[in-house]
């Protein structure tokens, strides 16, 4: 049996499309665990109506919003299937045979997870879509799986780091003893990063089966993004030491520099403080010992010649601010165009 875990928050507009895409699958031995994370819209009512028609649906109705990460783990606690599939409630399955295909491949290869291809879709009609089949398909086993592909979780994109779109063998999740991360951004990566060292083999399909809905440009600064990604950096440091995966050092340091750059740009775009307030924030931030460690990149000599990196090393907050302000101005037209496209295609 496959346990399908769907965390739900404020997605009543898309929820029926998601549930129908699962219930109409040719593979019928499923249970659907729908977790209503104290959603303020009509999502709970929709779930109840579906559950009355199909007994394979179980509902967890949370009275307090705890976030998608904890919602997924609440679903895992109730899951009875040999396999687990996570789906976000505003996404949907593309292929009505995809569960059958994934289950068959998991049984055939004894894979710890089977991953389907996905496509990013801006609108429900799929007029704007970007197919995303991995360039690496087929069976991958240890030792190559760990030695080569664990790098995917440290800033070097090879394999997908998302939690959705993968059919996991539940026993391997239980073995890893993963607990909720407590963060709002990057929770998928944490889950897979902690799971990956326990895997023996995975299988990646060349079949698109998952529609990931994108768009809806944010209109405000995400206060969780920088602290959560900074926490991820320290977690990656711990895992590098734990598994002696030293080849990842440079990648996480370069990634952390990019995170700081992005955070400053976002503060400027959304007017999170005046110029002087942002520079005061940077002055305090650069006192964190983490930035001395970021400066220890060894295999990428051009990194230390980057003016932004030099500004970090010299704690030159004026140069950091000016550099990001230039980036914001250069990207203004592209950003506004995305906002217009997002508005149009989310209202058709």
Q: What is the mean pLDDT of each run of 10 residues along the chain (348 residues)?
A: 97 96 97 97 97 97 94 96 97 96 98 95 63 84 97 93 96 95 93 98 96 75 94 97 96 96 96 96 97 92 91 96 94 65 50
Closest CA to 75 of 24, 6, 1: 6
Question: What does pTM read for this prediction?
Answer: 0.90
> What separation in angstroms does the CA of 105 have from each of 82, 111, 218, 219, 260?
14, 8, 38, 42, 41
- pLDDT at position 344 is 47
- pLDDT at position 307 is 93
What is the set of domains in the chain, with CATH numbers?
2-213 (3.90.550.10), 225-336 (no CATH)
Other CB atoms within 10 A of residue 116 CB: 27
Provide the token pair at 203: 């299988």
- pLDDT at position 338 is 60
For the chain, give percent helix, strand, coil, nearest 5. Answer: 50, 20, 30
Question: Do 212 and 118 form a contact (C-beta atoms < 8 A)?
Answer: yes
Closest CA to 299 of 260, 256, 247: 247
- pLDDT at position 333 is 73
- pLDDT at position 342 is 52
Q: Is residue 144 within a helix (H) or strand (E), and if so which, with residue range?
A: helix 144-149
**Size of the chain, expressed as the number of residues it contains:** 348
Instruction: Give the whole-angstrom CA distance, residue 261 versus residue 66.
Output: 29
- pLDDT at position 7 is 97
- pLDDT at position 103 is 98
Owner of token pair 């394979």: 56
The pair phi, psi for residue 19, each rounded to 5°, is -65, -40
Q: Helix (H, G, I), strand (E, B), or coil: what is residue 115? A: strand
In 112-159, DSSP assigns E strands to 113-121, 129-132, 138-141
Tally the C-alpha atoms within 13 A of residue 293's C-alpha that lie toward its C-beta.
Answer: 14
Name every residue whose Cβ is closer than 8 Å to that of residue 241 and which is 6 or more positions away in sequence: none
- pLDDT at position 134 is 75
Other CB atoms within 10 A of residue 139 CB: 15
Instruction: Give the whole-angstrom CA distance, residue 311 versus residue 303.
Output: 12
């Amino acid at each position: 049996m496959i346990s399908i875990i769907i965390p739900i928050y404020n997605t009543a507009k898309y929820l029926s499309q998601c549930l129908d895409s699962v219930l109409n699958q040719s593979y019928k031995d499923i249970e659907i665990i729908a977790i209503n994370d104290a959603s303020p819209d009509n999502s709970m009512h929709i779930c109840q109506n579906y559950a009355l028609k199909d007994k394979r649906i179980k509902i967890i109705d949370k009275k307090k919003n705890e976030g998608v990460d904890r919602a997924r783990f609440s679903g895992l606690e109730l899951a009875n299937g040999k396999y687990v599939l996570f789906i976000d409630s505003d996404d949907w399955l593309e292929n009505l045979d995809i569960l059958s295909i994934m289950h068959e491949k998991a049984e055939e290869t004894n894979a710890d997870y089977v991953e389907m291809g996905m496509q990013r879709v801006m609108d429900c009609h799929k007029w704007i879509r970007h197919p995303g089949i991995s360039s690496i398909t087929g069976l991958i086993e240890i030792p190559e799986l760990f030695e080569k592909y664990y790098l995917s979780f440290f800033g070097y994109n090879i394999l997908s780091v998302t939690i959705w779109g993968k059919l996991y063998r539940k026993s391997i999740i239980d073995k890893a003893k993963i607990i909720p991360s407590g963060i709002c951004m990057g929770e998928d990566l944490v889950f897979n990063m902690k799971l990956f060292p326990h895997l023996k083999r995975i299988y990646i399909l060349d079949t698109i089966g998952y529609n990931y809905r994108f768009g809806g440009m944010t209109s405000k600064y995400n206060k969780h993004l920088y602290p959560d990604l900074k926490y991820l950096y320290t977690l990656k440091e711990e895992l590098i030491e734990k598994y002696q995966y030293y080849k990842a050092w440079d990648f996480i340091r370069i990634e952390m520099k990019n995170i700081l750059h992005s955070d400053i740009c976002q503060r400027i775009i959304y007017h999170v403080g005046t110029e002087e307030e942002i520079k005061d924030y940077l002055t305090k931030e650069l006192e964190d010992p983490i930035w001395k460690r970021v400066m220890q990149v060894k295999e990428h000599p051009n990194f230390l010649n980057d003016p932004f990196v030099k500004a970090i090393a010299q704690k030159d907050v004026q140069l950091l601010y000016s550099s990001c302000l230039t980036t914001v101005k250069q990207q203004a037209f592209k950003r506004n165009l995305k906002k217009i496209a997002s508005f149009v295609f989310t209202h058709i």
